């Protein structure tokens, strides 16, 4: 029998009316309550018991997936300040080794940090970042051994190999060395909300309170820090959903006085880099799909002095840019596909980089070097491994640095991809990326997995997944729904899927699913849906609205208790989200959110089989959201379909750490889907051959 949580009425107060939450008791911010922990352990035990008959299948899937990974894989080296930096794996080990070689890849290897050694005494380990001092002698790292993204600053002397005694807890992942090589800038977090609140300077060897550089008073902003490629400027970035502000200081300024590039303004988002003593600014000021401007630092706060470099377009969204001494590279979205445009600063002819597949993404990779002719990028498609290429912007030469290896009998020609449109109920054409194995495609008979996200303007990128091959090779068709709330079709695509328009995200996904079935991409009784985080909200809302469409649903770390979470500003990251979801303390936001919140709309009806995952230490979506949702579903649903909760007790938002361990959870999810199709043996197909 499944675990049944006690119902203990709790009043959630709101200016718009109080609500009763019978499962609020499952929230324990200390994560120590024995009753709560016992309930989660019971849920995990129930999930394992239901999947026990499929243990051979589950293990086979896991071994298939990890067997496709090159055991001694390595990244292409990148050049910075006289050294070539890279990461590499050793066979059978979970974590990468970060290393460098001086001047040439033929020079002796210097290991910077072996994450396997650092992870030995922890159930979870994540290296947030590592940064090298300007004189190349010291390394600062940000490490997380809990999974809550509360990193710890530590410093290593690269000449002696010794770790210094310095340690600063509860910080963001990004770090910046100052010019003197004796201090590091970091972002201190609020211990409750986990928001970055203060930039401080830690002087090596100091034990007192670190010097305060900047404090952000507004809890609706995230914070980050960085160093410009030219090394002339240091930056503090402040990001809210619809507003940004950058502050800059001269890197050689001993006082580190940060000034606004442009003070924050309502509905104004911008990014900044420096080139040849001026700021290059990507901005949506009078440009919905953004444009590129330049301005002298001393007048940057006066927009009348900005000069246009690339105008805005109604059909092309400028996503990001990269500056080099002699060239500018821009990532753009055209017709839903990501491309790169490279142009010389002297006004020469621009070059566009794309791919030949129906659906693809060409993605800029940041370069640390400023005076450098090589622009690095990735090409991703649904059928071919990620290909990393260096493009010489002066000569046009291309060097393929790496094709992500896929071990085993993988043949990219065995698969095909499509890029189609599905008509939503209001007439909007929604793009869909599709992939399947050619010889297993049987119109109207294949199992179909529809994946979506649709929030924060995040655009889904088509890529070859080594784990997904285990589904394709058993007859699944995989579809990526580029629904509104993302930014695939431009800024309006995002705005049409947020706040009061949020319902479009859910109805788009439903309409895409119906179109795919009608077009023969999947059998009507073999359709699955999957999404994580805000994508978990998506599939949770869809489960309430159209449960009849799906055989099964996978909701990973789902944001499902929308109203209660957004009412509580003590919950991490809530205040940053008001411009995305709305503030339920006010109308009409309250009614809009209440209409789709998955937890609030669980009904007495049949639901598809469902697998829900969570992480006890999740800092993005608190563990009690999926736990409460499953408890309410158990109480109200009228079917006997599986409802499983898998709570990772040692991890956070991203699940288990480590190169191999993370695929244990993927194998669990695939086993869940195949079990719902009556498949229990490893070699069985999900479609007639």
Q: Does residue 655 surpass a pLDDT of 70?
A: no
DSSP conformation class of 14: -
* Residue of 300, 455, 533, 597 marked active site: 533
| Beta pairing, strands 337-344 & 351-353 | antiparallel
The CATH architecture to which 11-66+416-676 belongs is 3-Layer(aba) Sandwich (3.40)
Q: Across residues 425-448, what is the average pLDDT? A: 97
pLDDT of 567 higher than 90: yes
Distance of CA 406 to the CA centre of its chain: 23
Q: Catalytic residue at 30? A: no
**Residue 146's pLDDT band (boundaries 50, 70, 90)?**
confident
Query: Tens of pLDDT along 305-354?
Result: 999 999 999 999 999 999 999 999 999 999 899 999 999 999 889 999 88
Q: What is the largest CA-CA distance in the chain?
A: 72
- The neighbour count for residue 115, using CB atoms within 10 Å, is 24
Catalytic residue list contains 202:
no
Write the burial class of residue 480 (CB in 10 Å: 0-12 exposed, 13-18 middle, 19+ buried).
Answer: buried
pLDDT exceeds cutoff 90 at 85: yes
Mean pLDDT, range 448-456, rounded to an integer: 97
pTM for the complete prediction?
0.92
Q: How far is CA 291 from the centre of its chain?
A: 25
CA 590 to chain centre: 27
Gyration radius of the chain over CA positions: 25
**Per-residue model confidence as pLDDT tens digits over 149-184:** 899 999 999 999 999 999 999 999 999 999 999 999
Per-residue pLDDT of 617-640, as tens digits, reads: 888 899 999 999 999 999 999 999
416 burial via Cβ count (<10 Å: 0-12, 13-18, 19+): middle
Q: Which residue out of 459, 653, 657, 675 is catalytically annotated?
A: 653
**d(Cα 254, Cα 326) in Å, to the nearest integer?**
30
State which H helix or E strand residue 200 sits in: strand 196-203
**609-647: b (≥16 Cβ within 10 Å) or e:** bbbbbbbbbbbbbbbbbbbbbbbbbbeebeeeebbbbbb
Residue among 179, 274, 600, 618 flagged as catalytic: 618
Active site residue 14: no
The pLDDT of 225-233, averaged and rounded, is: 94
For the chain, which residues make up each domain, given as ranges? Answer: 11-66+416-676, 75-121
């Amino acid at each position: 029998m499944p675990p049944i949580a006690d119902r203990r009425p709790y009043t959630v107060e709101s200016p718009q009316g109080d609500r009763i939450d019978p499962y609020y008791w499952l929230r324990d911010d200390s994560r120590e309550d024995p009753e709560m922990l016992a309930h989660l352990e019971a849920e995990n035990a129930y999930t394992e018991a239901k999947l026990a008959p499929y243990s051979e299948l589950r293990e086979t899937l896991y071994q298939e997936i990890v067997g496709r990974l090159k055991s001694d894989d390595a990244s292409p080296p990148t050049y910075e300040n006289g050294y070539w930096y890279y990461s590499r794996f050793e066979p059978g080990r979970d974590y990468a080794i970060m290393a460098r070689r001086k001047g040439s890849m033929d020079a002796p290897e210097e290991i910077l940090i072996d994450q396997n050694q650092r992870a030995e005494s922890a159930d979870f380990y994540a290296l947030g970042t590592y940064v090298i001092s300007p004189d190349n002698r010291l390394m600062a790292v940000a490490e997380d051994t809990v999974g809550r993204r509360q990193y710890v600053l530590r410093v290593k002397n690269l000449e002696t190999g010794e770790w210094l005694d310095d340690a600063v807890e509860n910080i963001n992942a990004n770090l910046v060395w100052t010019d003197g090589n004796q201090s590091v800038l970091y972002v201190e977090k609020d211990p409750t909300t986990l928001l970055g609140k203060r930039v401080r300077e830690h002087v090596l060897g100091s034990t007192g309170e670190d010097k305060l550089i900047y404090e952000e008073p507004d809890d609706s902003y995230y914070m980050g820090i960085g160093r410009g490629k030219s090394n002339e400027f240091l930056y503090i970035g402040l990001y809210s959903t619809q507003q940004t502000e950058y502050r800059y200081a001269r890197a050689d300024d001993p006082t580190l006085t940060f000034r606004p590039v442009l003070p924050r303004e309502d509905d104004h988002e911008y990014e900044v880099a420096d080139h040849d003593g001026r700021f290059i600014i990507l901005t949506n000021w009078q440009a919905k799909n953004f444009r590129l401007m330049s301005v002298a630092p001393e007048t940057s706060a006066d927009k009348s002095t900005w000069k246009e470099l690339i105008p805005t377009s109604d059909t092309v969204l400028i996503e990001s840019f990269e500056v080099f001494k002699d060239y500018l590279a821009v990532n753009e979205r055209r017709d839903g596909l990501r491309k790169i445009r490279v142009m010389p600063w002297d006004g020469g002819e621009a070059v566009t980089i794309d791919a030949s597949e129906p659906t693809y993404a060409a993605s800029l990779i940041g370069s640390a070097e400023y005076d450098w002719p090589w622009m690095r990028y990735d090409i991703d498609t649904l059928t071919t491994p990620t290909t990393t290429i260096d493009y010489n912007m002066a000569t046009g030469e291309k060097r393929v640095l790496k094709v992500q290896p896929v071990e085993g009998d993988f043949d990219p020609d065995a698969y095909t991809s499509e890029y189609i449109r599905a008509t939503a109920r209001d007439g909007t054409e929604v793009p869909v990326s599709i992939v399947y194995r050619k010889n297993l495609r049987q119109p109207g008979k294949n199992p179909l997995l529809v994946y979506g996200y649709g929030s924060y303007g995040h655009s889904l990128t088509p890529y070859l997944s080594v784990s997904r091959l285990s589904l394709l090779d058993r007859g699944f068709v995989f579809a990526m729904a580029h629904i509104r709330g993302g930014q695939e079709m431009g800024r309006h695509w995002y705005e049409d899927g947020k706040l009061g328009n949020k319902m479009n995200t859910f109805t788009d996904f439903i309409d895409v699913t119906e179109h795919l079935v009608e077009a023969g991409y999947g059998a009507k009784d073999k359709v699955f849906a999957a999404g994580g985080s805000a994508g978990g909200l998506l599939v949770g809302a869809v489960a309430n609205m159209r449960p009849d469409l799906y055989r099964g649903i996978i909701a990973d770390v789902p944001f499902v208790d929308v109203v209660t979470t957004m009412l509580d500003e003590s919950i991490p990251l809530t205040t940053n989200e008001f411009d995305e979801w709305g503030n339920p303390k006010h109308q009409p936001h309250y009614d809009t959110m209440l209409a789709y919140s998955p937890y609030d709309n669980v009904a007495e009806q049949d639901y598809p089989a469902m697998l829900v995952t969570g992480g006890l230490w999740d800092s993005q979506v608190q563990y009690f959201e999926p736990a409460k949702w499953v408890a309410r579903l158990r109480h109200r649903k009228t079917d006997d379909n599986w409802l499983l909760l898998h709570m990772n007790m040692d991890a956070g938002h991203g699940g288990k750490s480590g190169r191999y361990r993370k695929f244990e959870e993927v194998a669990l999810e695939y086993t869940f889907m195949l079990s719902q199709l009556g498949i229990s043996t490893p070699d069985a197909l999900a479609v007639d051959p």
